[in-house]
Chains A and B, each alone.
Chain A
Amino acid sequence: MSLEIPFLTEQFEAAGYIVDPPLVTTLGLMQQLERPLLIEGEAGVGKTEAAKVLASVNNAPLIRLQCYDGLDLSAAVYEWNYTKQLIAIKANEGSQSDEKLDVFGQDFLMERPLLQSIRQPQSAVLLIDEIDRADEAFEAYLLELLSDFQISIPELGTVKALAKPKVVLTSNGTRELSDALRRRCLYHYMDYPDLNKELAIVYARLPEIDKKLGEQVVTFIQNVRLQDLQKRPGVAETLDWAAALIGLELDTLKENIDVILATKSCFLKTREDVAEIDTDVVSEVLNAVA
C-alpha cells in the first residue's frame, strides 16, 4: 500500500491546511501502519487543526476528547446509566418473566469519546487534545487503547475496535509524557511555520487579504516571535490579527504604528508581553518589514 504523499498533500491543501512534507509523510505512515500519532508543539501552531482536517479529508467522524486535570474514566471512556438501571430493576420486580435482567449490559452503557471511537462501524479520527493536561494515571489507561485498540470494561470484558480509529494526540509540552506512551506513537514536532509557509496559510485562510498587507503582517509576526515574549504568537494569532486589519480596511502597516499598537492584543496574550512590545519595539520591527 502506497503512502500517496502527493495525493494527501493535495487533499490537505484543498481543505485549506498547508501541510509540509515531514507532516504529510507522518500522516501517511500513520494511516498505513495504523498507529497513533503524537504531535507536540506550542499553542497555536495548528496541531488540533491537523486532526480536524485529517477527519475532513478522510470523510470520517471526528471524535474529540479534551483532556484536563482530573479527567477520569467516567468522562473519557464509559459510564453506566444508573437511573436507567434503577428503573429497569423496579420495572422487573413484578415481572413473571424467567429472563434474567442484566443491568450491566450494552443497553445500560453510556459511551464516552474513547469507547465511542472504537465502536464506530467506520474508522473515525479520535483527537485526544492536550494529553499533557491529563493525569499520569489516565495516560497509563490509554496505553491499551493505543497499542491494541481495545478497552477493558470489568463488567463487560474487552471491547475491541470494530474499525481502528486514527488516533491523534496533541501536547503543548507542559509536562513530560511517559516513554510508554511515546513508544506507542509516531511522533511529529510542529514548530512555528517559516515565512513562506505562514504566508501560504494566510493566503489560503484569508483569500481576500491584500498581498502586500499579507506579506507585511507575516513578516511582522515572524519578527515579533524573535522578541523575548512569554507567549509567542502562533498561526492562529497571525490570522486573527490579519482579519482584524482587513476589518479596519488597512492596506499597509507602514506609518500605521498607532493601529498596530491598538490591535496588538490580537497577537499578544499576556500583560508582560503587551508591555514588552511598545512603540520602540514596534518601530524597530516595522523597519524589518519590507
Chain B
Amino acid sequence: MRFLKAEGFVFGIGESGDVLAQLESGDCLDRNRVAHTMRALTCRSKEDWVNFDLVFRKYWFPLEVANHELDVLERVDSRNRNTQRLSGLAGASKESPRQDDEAGADGIGAGTARNISKADFRFINDKSAMRQAERIAERMANQLRRQLERRRTYRTTGVQLDIRRTIRKSLSTGGLPLSAVYSVRREKHPHLIVLHDVSHSMSWNNPLLFRFARGLIRAFSGSHAFAFHTKLFPVTQIYQEQSLSRMRERLEENNKLWMGGTRIAASVRTFNQKYSKSVLTPKSIVVVISDGFDTEEQENLNVEMNRLCSKVQSVLWLNPMLGREGVSTTASDLKRALPAVDAFLPANSLEGLQLAIKKIAGLSSL
C-alpha cells in the first residue's frame, strides 16, 4: 500500500484496512483477484485505473515490468517519430511540440476532462484528446450562458407568478396570499467584444482558442468578434457559422491567417477609430486573445488600450504565454506594462480558459 502511495495513488487508512480485510477473507486466492480488489479500493480516476496494472506488477513482478518498459519505450519512440504537427484552421503550424513533453496530456474518453484540463495546449498531441479539448473550449461559453440564464430574481411585480413561493409566503398569513411573488429572469447577458490575434505566433494554439472565441460569440447574441494580425477585420458573422467546416472555409477564403507578424497597437487603433462607436456600449466586456507580441512600440499600444478601456466596462486579456513553464512573465508584469487592462489571464490550458469564463460571469453580475 505504501508503494501505491509512493506511485501517486491517494487513499486513506480506511481503504488500506479494507484491502487487508479482503486479503484475509480468503476471497482473494489468485493474483488477478487480488489486483481487481486492490484496484477497486485504491483507484479514484481513470488515470489511476489505467496505471494500476503496471504499478501492481512493478511491485510484485519487477522482472516482467522491466521487459514491458522496454516495449513501452520502443512504442513511445515510434510514436514520437510519427508525431503530427499541430494543425491550424488554415494548415499546419510550423511549430512542433517538444518530444519530451508529449506524454503529458495523453488519454482520451471519459475522465479526459480531468486529464486535459490542466494540460498545456502545446502538449496535447493525441488527435482525439485535442478534438475533445476543442469541444470543451467551445462548450464553456454555452455553460456560462446557461448558468446566467438560470439566475432568476423574485419580485412583487411581474408576469410569471411563482406559485410555490407565493403559497409558501402565504403560510405566515394563515394561507391568505396577500402578496404574490413573481419570478423574473435576470436578463443580464454580457456584451462581449472579442479581439482575436490570428498572427503566426498564435498558430500553435489556434484551433482551441478559435473554438473558445466562436463559443463566446455564438452563446451571447449581440457580441462581436474581430480578428487581427497586421490589420483588423470583423469576423462576427464568420464565427456565427453553424458549421465548423464552413467557418474554416470562409476564414481561409477571405483572410490570410497565421502569416506574418502582429501589429496590435495599429489593430486596436483601427478598432477604436472605425468600429468602437457602432459596437461598444459602456457595459461591454472586451476580451483580447493574444500573446502580446507586437512589432510596434509598447507606448502606442498603451495609448490605444487606454482609449479602449475608457469606453467599456472591462478589458480582459487572455494570453497563451501566461502560465507556460519557462516563461517568467507574470500577469502582474503585464499589468504594469498595460495598466488600463483589468486582468491578464492565462489561455494556455482549459483550466485557464475556465478562469476567464468565471471572470466574465463575475463581471456579468455587476
Contacts and interface: CB of A to CB of B under 8 A. Distances in A.
A204 B50 CA distance: 28
A190 B18 CA distance: 23
Contacts of B188: none
Contacts of B245: 272
Contacts of A132: 113
B155 to A, nearest CB: 20
A215 interface: no
Interface stretch (A56-64, A84-92, A118-126, A158-166): A84-92
Interface SS, A side: mixed
A40 B110 contact: yes
B150 interface: yes
A41 B109 contact: yes
Contacts of A80: 168
A188 interface: yes
Given A103-B171, A183-B12, A21 B25 contact: no
A105 interface: no
B248 to A, nearest CB: 12
Contacts of A90: 175
A40 B46 contact: yes
A2 B25 contact: yes
Nearest to B351: A176
A179 interface: yes
B79 interface: no
B174 A173 contact: no
Interface in B8-46: 10-12, 18, 22, 25-27, 32-33, 36-37, 39-41, 43-46
B68 interface: no
B27 A176 contact: no
Nearest to A275: B245
Interface string B157-178: 0000001100110110011000
Contacts of B255: none
Interface in A163-207: 171-177, 179, 182-183, 186-189, 191
Contacts of B110: 40-42, 171-173, 189
Most chain-B CB neighbours within 10 Å: which of A93, A171, A176, A179?
A176
Interface string A74-111: 00000010110110011001000000000100000000
A5 B22 CA distance: 13
Nearest to A271: B243
A255 interface: no
A85 B171 contact: yes
A173 B111 CA distance: 4
Nearest to A26: B40
B131 A69 contact: no
A86 B170 contact: yes
B65 to A, nearest CB: 20
A272 to B, nearest CB: 8
A18 B22 CA distance: 24
Nearest to A91: B175
Given A86-B167, A173-B46, A42 B40 contact: no
A59 B174 CA distance: 46
B114 interface: yes
Most chain-B CB neighbours within 10 Å: which of A25, A83, A171, A176?
A25
A264 B35 CA distance: 39
Contact of B48 (A103, A187, A228, A271): A187
A44 B77 CA distance: 33
B44 A187 contact: yes
Contacts of A182: 44-45
A256 interface: no
B297 to A, nearest CB: 43
B113 A89 contact: no
B320 to A, nearest CB: 21
Given A173-B110, A188-B40, A25 B49 contact: no
A85 B163 CA distance: 13
Contacts of A33: 18
Contacts of B25: 2-3
A42 B44 contact: no
Given A29-B40, A90-B175, A69 B109 contact: no
A173 B112 contact: yes
Given A3-B27, A187-B48, A21 B36 contact: yes
A41 B50 CA distance: 12
Given A70-B146, A83-B167, A230-B131, A179 B44 contact: yes
B40 A2 contact: no
Most chain-A CB neighbours within 10 Å: which of B110, B127, B175, B245?
B110
Contact of B39 (A2, A22, A83): A22
B37 A191 contact: no
Interface of B: 10-12, 18, 22, 25-27, 32-33, 36-37, 39-41, 43-46, 48-50, 109-114, 117, 127-128, 131, 135-136, 143, 146-147, 150, 163-164, 167-168, 170-171, 174-175, 243-245
21 contacts: A5-B27, A21-B33, A22-B36, A25-B36, A26-B40, A29-B22, A29-B37, A29-B40, A40-B45, A69-B147, A70-B146, A70-B150, A82-B164, A90-B175, A173-B110, A174-B113, A176-B113, A176-B114, A186-B41, A187-B49, A228-B128
Interface of A: 2-3, 5, 21-22, 25-26, 29, 33, 40-42, 69-70, 80, 82-83, 85-86, 89-90, 93, 103, 132, 171-177, 179, 182-183, 186-189, 191, 228-230, 271-272
3 smallest CB-CB distances across A and B, nearest first, come from A173-B110, A25-B36, A189-B49
